[in-house]
Chains A and B, each alone.
Chain A
Amino acid sequence: MRKVSLTAVLLLLLALAGAAVATAQGGLSNDEIDRRMRAITDRLNCPLCQNTTLTECPLQVCDEMRDLIRQKLIAGENEDQIRAYFVERYGDRVLNEPPKQGFALLGWVMPLVGIMVGVVLLGLVLRAMLHREPKQSAPRAATVAATSPELPSEYVDRLERDLRQME
Chain B
Amino acid sequence: MANELPLEGTAPVTSRGRGKLLALAAGVILVLVLAGISALGVRQASTDRPAVGSTAPTFSMPLFDGPQVDLAALRGKPVVINFWASWCVPCEDEAGDLERTWQKYKDRAMFLGVDYVDTEPKAREFLKRFGITYPNGPDLGSRISYQYRIKGVPETFVIDKNGQVRLVKIGPTTEAELSATLDELLK
A interface, CB within 8 angstroms of B: 47-48, 59-61, 64-65, 67-68, 87-93, 103, 106, 110, 113-114, 117, 120-121, 124-125, 127-128, 131-132, 135, 143, 147-148, 150-152, 155
Contacts and interface: CB of A to CB of B under 8 A. Distances in A.
Interface in B77-116: 85, 87
B170 interface: no
Interface string B1-27: 001011011001001100110110011
Interface of B: 3, 5-6, 8-9, 12, 15-16, 19-20, 22-23, 26-27, 30, 33, 37, 40, 85, 87, 117-119, 121-122, 138, 140-143
A135 B119 contact: no
B31 to A, nearest CB: 10
Contact of B19 (A48, A110, A127, A148): A127
Given A128-B16, A132-B12, A135-B12, A47 B117 contact: yes
A147 B8 contact: yes
B85 A152 contact: no
A57 B101 CA distance: 36
Contacts of B26: 117, 120-121
B87 A135 contact: no
B157 to A, nearest CB: 20
Contacts, number: 78
A48 B117 contact: yes
A114 B27 CA distance: 10
A89 B138 CA distance: 8
A155 B40 CA distance: 67
Contact of A91 (B3, B9, B19, B141): B141
Contacts of A89: 138, 140-141
Contacts of A113: 30, 33
Contacts of B6: 147-148
A90 B9 contact: no
Contacts of B8: 135, 143, 147
A103 B44 CA distance: 12
B60 to A, nearest CB: 14
A91 B117 CA distance: 10
Contacts of B3: 150-152, 155
Contacts of A121: 23, 26-27
B87 A106 contact: no
Given A90-B142, A106-B37, A124-B22, A61 B16 contact: no
Nearest to B5: A148
B117 A90 contact: yes
A91 B142 CA distance: 6
Contacts of B37: 106, 110
